[in-house]
A and B are shown apart, each in its own frame.
Chain A
């Protein structure tokens, strides 16, 4: 079975500051890991994904995440926050080679202050 933990529910940063959203996973088999972004009343958009290739994954909008097996983590970062980054961010996991259905973390709301 797989699970994802996103500690806390809200992160607030200043525009131009580093964004760090934490995600820890639990999986009994090698995982695939994902970060999605959700804007109000919209579906989810894929930011990036780890699928057992490079451990440092670069995504859209300047985001990146690093898979660290020893820490069972897949934290999302962006060097410089932009106002348009304000949204809800979800980390998700699924088993490699398994069904496409994802298990999501509870999400993290990112607020960017001017």
Chain B
């Protein structure tokens, strides 16, 4: 079964609203989680590294005020897309290492901004 779970799987929102996506490690604790973005028919691009109890580390070119990441517990990281616009529509995937070299991915969350 899944060891990393994301919610929601699908979300549709209006332009200008904010959307929160959750990533949970189900049977292990994760001090670090990774958030990726995948455009249609393209690869996964790392957006940021979520660190439990401290600020996330964002990749170059990713707006930290646009994509708010919170890692409040050892099993939960959240990604909030603030003031979403149609260009933010994408497939967002999180991952977490259960052991060194053993990285598990969530099922992904598809965001559509109208």
Contacts and interface: CB of A to CB of B under 8 A. Distances in A.
Contact residues on A (Cβ < 8 Å of other chain), bracket: 20 to 34
Please report whether the interface of chain A is mostly helix, strand, loop or mixed according to DSSP.
loop
A83 interface: no
Contacts of B6: 43
A45 interface: yes
Interface string A100-114: 111111110100000
A7 interface: no
B108 A41 contact: yes
Contacts of A51: 101
A105 B43 contact: yes
A44 interface: yes
Contact of B34 (A32, A46, A100): A100
A42 B34 contact: no
Interface in B78-105: 91, 93, 95, 97, 100-101, 103-105
A74 B62 CA distance: 30
Nearest to B46: A101
Interface in A55-114: 90, 99-107, 109
B93 A46 contact: no
Contacts of A9: 41
A97 B96 CA distance: 16
